[in-house]
Structure 1
Amino acid sequence: MTLPRTLLRIVSALGLAALLAGCNLLVLSPPGDIAAQQGNLIIVSTVLMLIVIVPVIFLTFWFAWRYRASNRKAKYTPDWDHSTQLELVIWGVPLLIIIALGAVTWISTHLLDPYRPLDRIDANRPVPAEMEPLEIQVVALDWKWLFIYPEYGVASLNEAAAPIDRPIKFSITSSSVMNAFYVPALAGMIYGMPGMQTTLHAVMNKPGDYEGFSANYSGAGFSHMRFRFHGLEEGDFDNWVAQAREEGTSLGRTEYLELEKPSQREAARHFASVDSSLFDAIVNRCVDIDRLCMDQIMALDAAGGLGLRGLDALALPSQGDARSGPYITAGVCTVETVAPLLSSVVGGLQAP
């Protein structure tokens, strides 16, 4: 004996509802304060729009039922074409909603600016005046994530950690193509671009193991370009740093040039020590010491360049070298003479 079709539909709907009840809507209820404020924006915007959508849907069905062909009791007014009251509702309510959405957008754009340092840990606690943010330097590689902790002198690959209730300042860049750094539990996505540095301020308020990934397609290994973000108690974070110092290897320029080669599904690992100038060299595209840094090139250009001989510095890389120029050649100057030359250029630019 088969169940009636209506009963089958009810049972199917209840089963679907039971499955959805187990879903964790992380974007709408995240443990990080910045992500929580952004989730509230989604809810506020949705509710404001539903003020129009719900009545319109209801009235659509009501009019279809009220004025159906078989309803002979419905009032028939073929000459009706205007109602001042209805016009006020039709134009006034959407206008008020647009004003409200505009106000919310303007305020949140400033309060949730990713470059703006945090002034609160959560809704009930401001950031103490003596608390300094934890700086994490993020590099998007092909196809993996490198995290450098300059305060502690350690780094990690495809794994990040931070103490809860301490503001975090992410400095983000990329080694080759544009990527988007995104930890849904922490804050919104921020782009990382080669030769540029972007900033994100955030805070994690609950311990846990959260997922992070790239939200911008960047090639063959994009699907597996993921990492784990650990929100830890202060003591557990200190243990994480100590473990990195004990188990990790060193990360200098040579090791980084090997690390930045494209690879997929890299296991998480730590680096016990990091070259303090590495992140700045990555941003300025000069980890290879045979290349001029972008800021050095801009300083030379601002001083008028090197004349015709300066064209030698734009020589193409040697055959088989995948890295692109510009390179500085011995025809212009040697590596040993770059620093004094730039010092004199910068000094001339700063002179009144």
Structure 2
Amino acid sequence: MRKNLYAKAAGILLLLSLFLLLGGCSSALMDPKGQIGAEQRTLILTAFGIMQIVVLPVIGMTLFFAWRYRRGNHNAAYTPEWAHNTWVEVVVWLIPCVIVLFLAGLTWYTSNSLDPHKPIAEDGEETLEIQAVAMDWKWLFIYPEQGIASVNEVAFPADTPVRFRVSSASVMNSFFIPDLGSQIYAMAGMDNDVHLIADEEGTYPGRSTNYSGSGFSGMTFDAHATSEEGFDEWVEEVKASSKSISFDDGYLELLKPSRNHPVEYFSEVSPTLYDDILNIYHSGEPVEVLPNETGYKHASSDHQEQDGDMAMNAEAAE
């Protein structure tokens, strides 16, 4: 008897400790700071609530049946010949079907309204464009209108629609700022995009959510949602940097894999840099990023070099 009491007490303490441990946790998805994130939270909570119409009665009836038809209850009805009840069948099948149809309609509607490629700017409202390039293991952000670039830090005014054009200079990654909403995949040679907006000022963590190698854990960045004046000040701070970047000058050096790369500013950026990064994968030839050397190397060039070396070795042997 005492062992059972101790076991129950231990179970209760364990349950209470779980609530205490989870008390310090937070969820960016449930506390969004942007319009898209808020709509996604509503979708999650709505779908979760609708599903409880099935989940809660099933759990409740399971517990009730276990208690009602326990071995010690001799008053429970015993009907071994019972096999069918029309009303039970109607309830069991009709309610789940209605819920599935409702969730299907909700999914169809939100798939269109929350399409990451759909602009969120109203008529006459300007959209800030930022080009994001995933590297090993860092993020390059290019501002074509301002003519600047940054690494592992991005800034934009709050209440201003932002269009992120997203691509990758290496393997697949996923661009995500949880507080603001949708994530989008970054793939080499693909010009993807996602529209986001911050409803209030703050610094929000961003990261890749698609594993991309040994330095993946450090592939994070800070997204600063500022006032208009704060954004102008940030732009001026970036322009004060002495560094510049273009495809032939600076980019190939930045392309080398690095872990926990520090924030870096470029006061001048080639206006065609983002397109140059895309076009390297559109040449029709395989592209290999060499981790220990600078730049790209075409597979066809490798074969030509190998053939040349073999020919020189053959001549030397003769």
| TM-score using structure 1 length | 0.77
Give the alignment partner of residue 172 of structure 1, picking from 146, 166, 177.
166
2:296 alignment partner AA? R
Which residue of structure 2 aligns with residue 52 of structure 1?
A: 54
Deviation, structure 1 residue 78? 1.5
1:81 alignment partner AA? A
Q: Is the 8 A contact 2:253 2:294 kept in 1?
A: no
What is the alpha-carbon distance in structure 1 between the residues aligned to residue 220 and residue 270 of structure 2? 25
1:190 aligns with 2:184: yes
Deviation, structure 1 residue 327? 7.8
What is the alpha-carbon distance in structure 2 between the residues aligned to residue 109 and residue 229 of structure 1? 26
2:165 alignment partner AA? S
Which residue of structure 1 aligns with residue 223 of structure 2?
A: 229
Which residue of structure 2 aligns with residue 132 of structure 1?
A: 126
1:159 aligns with 2:153: yes
1:281 aligns with 2:276: yes
Give the alignment partner of residue 73 of structure 1, picking from 55, 70, 75.
75
Which runs of no fewer than 5 residues in structure 2 stay unpaired?
A: 302-318
Partner of 1:22: helix, strand, or coil? Answer: coil
Which residue of structure 2 aligns with residue 323 of structure 1?
A: 296
1:140 alignment partner AA? A
Deviation, structure 1 residue 203? 0.4
Percentage identity across paired residues of the two chains: 42
CA distance 1:280–1:27, shift in 2 (3 Å) = same
1:110 alignment partner AA? N
What is the alpha-carbon distance in structure 1 between the residues aligned to residue 173 and residue 24 of structure 2? 31
Which residue of structure 2 aligns with residue 27 of structure 1?
A: 29
1:114 alignment partner AA? P
What is the alpha-carbon distance in structure 2 between the residues aligned to residue 94 and residue 9 of structure 1? 34
What is the alpha-carbon distance in structure 2 between the residues aligned to residue 248 and residue 146 of structure 1? 17
What is the alpha-carbon distance in structure 1 between the residues aligned to residue 267 and residue 113 of structure 2? 37
Partner of 1:173: helix, strand, or coil? Answer: strand
Describe the superposition over 1:240-275 as per-residue Cα deviations: whole angstroms up to 9, x where unpaired: 111101135111222101111111111001111110
Partner of 1:76: helix, strand, or coil? Answer: coil
Deviation, structure 1 residue 42? 1.5
Q: Is the 8 A contact 1:248 1:269 kept in 2?
A: no
Q: Is the 8 A contact 1:28 1:40 kept in 2?
A: no
Pick 1 or 2: higher relative contact order, CA cutoff 8 A, min separation 6: 2
Q: Is the 8 A contact 1:174 1:195 kept in 2?
A: yes
Partner of 2:132: helix, strand, or coil? Answer: strand
Partner of 1:148: helix, strand, or coil? Answer: strand
Give the alignment partner of residue 251 of structure 2, picking from 232, 251, 256.
256
Which runs of no fewer than 5 residues in structure 1 stay unpaired?
A: 120-126, 287-293, 299-312, 329-352
Describe the superposition over 1:134-158 as per-residue Cα deviations: whole angstroms up to 9, x where unpaired: 1000000111000001111111000
Could you list the structure 1 runs, at least 4 aligned residues long, displaced by more than 6 angstroms after superposition: none
What is the alpha-carbon distance in structure 2 between the residues aligned to residue 65 and residue 17 of structure 1? 27
| RMSD (CA atoms) | 2.4
